[in-house]
Structure 1
Amino acid sequence: MSSSINVEVIHELPLQPNLLDRDGFLTGLLNQVTVSEKDDCLQQLRDGAVKWVRHSVIPNTRDEEWRFTDLSPLKQVDFKLGMFQEISLESDILSEVSQRLVFVNGVYSPDLSHTEDLLAGLKVGNLNVLSDEVVQQYLAQSEGTREVFTALNTAALNDVAVVWVGKNVVVETPIHLLFVSVAGESATISQPRVLVVAESNSQLGLIEEYTNHRDTENTEKEVYFTNGVTEIWVNENAQVSHNRVVREGAAAFHVGKTAVTQARYSRYSCNAVTVGGRISRHNLEILQTGEQTETTLNGLTVIADNQLADTHSALSLNHPHGVSKQLHKCIIGDRAHGVFNGKIFVPKPAQLTNASQLNRNLLLSSKSRIDTKPQLEITADNVKCAHGATVSQLEDDQIFYLQSRGIDENNARKLLVNGFAMEIINFIPVAALRESLLKTVTSLTNK
């Protein structure tokens, strides 16, 4: 792995005057960036990302990857940089988790975090816990750095939530990364960044949670934009269990990128749950860099009203004997719109790959909508791969059966919906978080 920051291609882009600042909305967001002088080692990354953003435009429905997700409501909002605010976290603290990092409007809060009593070989904190050499080796080195929202995040790079697990270190309890948005008088933007490195033969559990500050009134009407990027490096024979939870306000916008790099013999699992948000998008990209990796992806999207939630995943299996399994579920009510596009790439060198993908969707209203596209691209000739999608509604005979057992119709519907969701929620390793998510799912689906 290179120890130098790989931004030469970005710097070599011809800076034609007519191509600079192609998108006024992006230019406005770039103008909200503030940079700390102490982060000189990040300046090259930021400069390259700024140039890339200035050459870019916000995706629209004419772009194949965004054709079902209209971002025009996002472009109509004038966002200002979110500032740190003092808050209370009593409702968000997970008692089963010992280590916690908290960022408020993208700003690290050491007072709300808990990073004491760390295991030897474990580093949890902000960017200060890593040397410049390690930062240059891993930060912004994943595939997909030139995607416009990822580049926008890098252009605003000021601090990072860091979890670094040394060789042969086993972390028994999950580490909680909590990103809280507190809207001000005007719409705000925050751009959190996460860097996770699991060295060879290590094991780690991670809970990455995005939420709004629920102690204030009218949080459903507060407008803010979270543009987050998470890079996870799973080195040889390492294991990472990643749980990603998004619970944004009903008027919020959320775009998230998870870039995972798996070395040989490594194991990575992701349990991603998205509830709420006016428009939310999660780009999950996994790159296999060695043979015999295991990848498990579980996802749940629950939306109602006029919300839109989009999940795009891309799994590149470039080496032999890779095993992957993906199950993504959507529960869609009212006039909400769900989108799922899962891609699995199996080129010729990836012989003896075993990959499966399934998207299951439950529509709770005749006006709810799902666009689903499971996708396999295979050129290897000795593989076992399968993919599929189902779209259904609550069956009358199922409801009748429960009613015949003394359960009224409303509770019968609730029981069926919760059962559909619990298959994914049960993968979350913390009981308190599972219970909280189930309550959120119930409140949304009962609207």
Structure 2
Amino acid sequence: MITQVAKRESFLTELVNQCRKQGKGKRESCAYGLKDLRDVAAEYVLGSKFPTTKDEEWRFTDISPLLELNLQVPELTHEPNLALSSLTLPVSSKDALPLRVVFVNGFYAPHLSTMEASLLPTLAMEFFAGNLSNAPGNYHARIRELLNQEQQYNDVFTALNMSGLADAAVVYVPKNQQIETPIHLLFITMPGETPILAQPHCLVIAESGSSVNIVEDFAVIGNVSTFTNAVTQIWVGENAAVNHIRLQREGREAIHLGRSAIAQSRDSRYTCNAISLGGKISRHNLEVFQTGEQTETVINGLTMIAGEQLSDTHSAINLTKPHGTTRQLHKCIVADKAHAVFNGKVFVPQAAQLTDAAQLNRNLLLSPKARVDTKPQLEITADNVKCSHGATVSQLDAEEVFYLQSRGLNENDSRNLLINAFAAEIINKLPIPSLRETLYSVVKQMER
């Protein structure tokens, strides 16, 4: 009988061996030096251990169910036949079709995408949204530079993603270009005969003075066992702005691990609205590095889970220069026997004087068996800063429910109104009306 220890030891090795077969012979391997990147990443994975709850960073999140899946790394499927009607987001009321870039099992699907040449005249001529192999040659150096930044690994699953890097979503915004229409990056996991490992990779480069709105969307076809291991890299140039929506809405049998790494230059602005709805087990690691002065970071998060779902949010904001500003608000609505985890870290070293940082995690438990583990953290060595952090965990206030009943509402409607108001603080920050409507419908389902 194979022990759990033996499973852990062989799990990563087997996946790396499969990943090494991906992407061989693809022409972008030479253009971006992917072979060397994959080799370095594979060696890191082979020298690492599978995380367990004995590790401090994973003590509330047990991902051992991964070991029970006979995962297969998929090869490129040419023009997979999918109906996207239930997955699309009408991101702009002014456009007949959304600007959508679709990836299936980590590979670009141009026949499902709507970033056609006919749409580009309304955008900047140098703007690009697509995949690695179609990126213009004059962008290769910048893309290679961003990919190389991931070689300093501190996470085994990031390295696993890089070890099988064969394709990636690329959004490139040239200097002083404002792209107002949101770009919908839709990453679909399409199961096969056995559970698969899908490893989407996303690169966003916003040059100085530019701005762009990105919707990063993860979905699974069917309610089946899958493993999505996603990595996103975003570089925000001087005085540039990136508005990033991350929507994870995979099936209840999916396991989702994602990492977002953001680097911000001087005077840049980065906003992240991270929404987590799906997955049997899900975790998002968000790392922000403010590398220039007068940098602004805003992070909003909303987790809505029920049943026996486990959703984990880990964030780390590194303020390394003076006059940095950051605001973080993460909310969790937890029903039934679900379990939410939040660990937010803000680092303010001696060099980051005159920093203004605020962090708050608020949690609403809708049943006696719902659970949350929260740990907001501030590490400050600078002596001239304005910083705060906190967390709250509560159930619906009986007095508030009674007050609403006294105004003519029944008990059920009173509870629904309070839950809706709790979520609205995050949902109303989203700039896309159709997405707000979708999320309010999810709130209504939790109210039942």
Say whether 1:127 aligns with 2:132.
Answer: yes
Tell which deviates more after alignment, 139-148 or 332-341.
139-148
- Listed one character per residue, the Cα deviations across residues 268-307 of structure 1 (whole Å, up to 9, x for unaligned) are 0000000121100000000111111000000001111111
The structural deviation recorded for 1:206 is 0.6
> Which of 149, 155, 172 is the aligned partner of 2:157?
149
The aligned counterpart of 1:102 is 102
1-structure distance, mates of 2:182, 2:232: 17
Structure 2 residue aligned with 1:92: 87
Distance in 2 between the 1:421 and 1:50 partners?
Answer: 41
1:35 corresponds, among 23, 29, 47, to 23
Matches within 5 A, 1:47-446: 47-82=39-74, 84=77, 85-97=80-92, 98-116=98-116, 117-118=119-120, 119-128=124-133, 129-131=135-137, 132-142=140-150, 145-213=153-221, 219-220=222-223, 222-446=224-448
In structure 2, the partner of 1:24 is 10
Shift of 1:180: 1.2
CA contact (8 A) 1:100 1:176 kept: yes
SS of structure 1 residue aligned to 2:193: coil
Q: How many Å separate the matches in 2 of 1:341 and 1:406?
A: 40
Determine if contact 1:234/1:268 at 8 Å carries over to the other structure: yes
Displacement of 1:262: 0.3
Output the amino acid matched with 2:364.
Answer: L
Summarize the Cα distance change of 1:324–1:142 in structure 2 as closer, same or farther, 3 Å threshold.
farther
AA aligned opposite 1:344? V
The structural deviation recorded for 1:22 is 7.8
Deviations 1:354-404 (A, max 9, x none): 000000000111111111000000000000000000001001122222223
> How far apart, CA to CA, are the structure 2 residues paired with 1:149 and 1:414?
39
| SS of residue in 2 equivalent to 1:103 | strand
Q: In 1, distance between residues paired with 2:136 and 2:47?
A: 32
Matched-pair contact (CA < 8 Å) for 2:91–2:184: no
Q: What's the CA shift for 1:135?
A: 2.4
Partners of 1:177 and 1:374 in 2: how far apart? 30
Partner SS for 2:86 = helix
TM-score normalised per structure 1: 0.91
TM-score (norm 2): 0.91
**Number of equivalenced pairs:** 420
Tell me which moved more, 56-65 or 306-315.
56-65
Q: Which amino acid aligns with 1:25?
A: F
Q: Which amino acid in 1 is paired with 2:82?
A: I
Distance 1:302 1:89 in 2: 24
Counterpart AA for 2:125: A
Q: CA deviation at 1:328?
A: 0.3
RMSD after superposition: 1.6
Q: Secondary structure at the match of 2:167?
A: coil
- Return structure 1 stretches of 4+ with deviation > 6 angstroms: none
Higher mean C-alpha displacement, 416-425 vs 26-35 = 26-35
Distance change in 2, residues 1:365/1:144 (3 Å): farther
State the AA in 1 paired with 2:85: E
Question: For structure 1, which segment, 92-101 or 313-322, has the greater mean C-alpha deviation from structure 2 after superposition?
Answer: 92-101
Q: Where does structure 1 lack aligned partners over 5 or more consecutive residues?
A: 1-20, 214-218
Deviation of the 1:139 alpha carbon: 1.5
- 1:32 match: secondary structure: helix
Q: Is the Cα–Cα contact under 8 Å of residues 226 and 254 in structure 1 kept in the other structure? A: yes
Separation in 1, partners of 2:60, 2:107: 32
- Output one character per residue of 1:21-41: Cα deviation in whole Å (capped at 9) or x when no partner: 982111122233222412232
Bigger drift between 112-121 and 147-156 goes to 112-121
C-alpha distance in structure 1 between counterparts of 2:151 and 2:262, whole Å:
9
Match of 2:111, SS state, is coil
Structure 2 unaligned residues grouped into runs of 5+:
1-6, 93-97
CA contact (8 A) 2:8 2:67 kept: no
CA contact (8 A) 1:322 1:352 kept: yes
Three-state SS of the structure 2 residue aligned to 1:174 is strand
Which one-letter code corresponds to 2:71 in the other structure?
A: F
Of 34-43 and 53-62, deviating more is 34-43
Query: What's the CA shift for 1:130?
Result: 4.3
1:120 is matched by which residue type in structure 2?
M
* CA distance in 2 between partners of 1:374 and 1:393 (Å): 20
- What CA distance in whole angstroms lies between the structure 2 residues aligned with 1:357 and 1:146? 24
Separation in 2 of the partners of 1:388 and 1:144?
31
Report the 3-state secondary structure (helix = DSSP H, G, I; strand = E; otherwise coil) of the residue aligned with 1:157: coil
C-alpha distance in 2 between matches for 1:342 and 1:22: 28
Partner Cα separation in structure 1 for residue 220 and residue 437 of structure 2: 18
| 1:326-359 deviations in Å (ceiling 9; x for gaps) | 0000011111111000000000010000000000
- Identity over aligned pairs, percent: 54
* Matching residue of 1:3: none
SS at match of 1:177: strand
- Contact 2:106/2:168, CA 8 A, preserved across alignment: no
State the alpha-carbon separation in 2 of the partners of residues 255 and 104 from structure 1. Answer: 17
Deviations 1:195-224 (A, max 9, x none): 0000000011110011122xxxxx33x110
State the distance in 2 between where 1:186 and 1:394 align.
Answer: 42
Structure 1 range deviating more: 31-40 or 388-397: 31-40
Q: Which digits, 9 at most, give the CA deviation of each residue in 1:155-200, with x for residues without a partner?
A: 0100010000000000011110001122233211100000000000
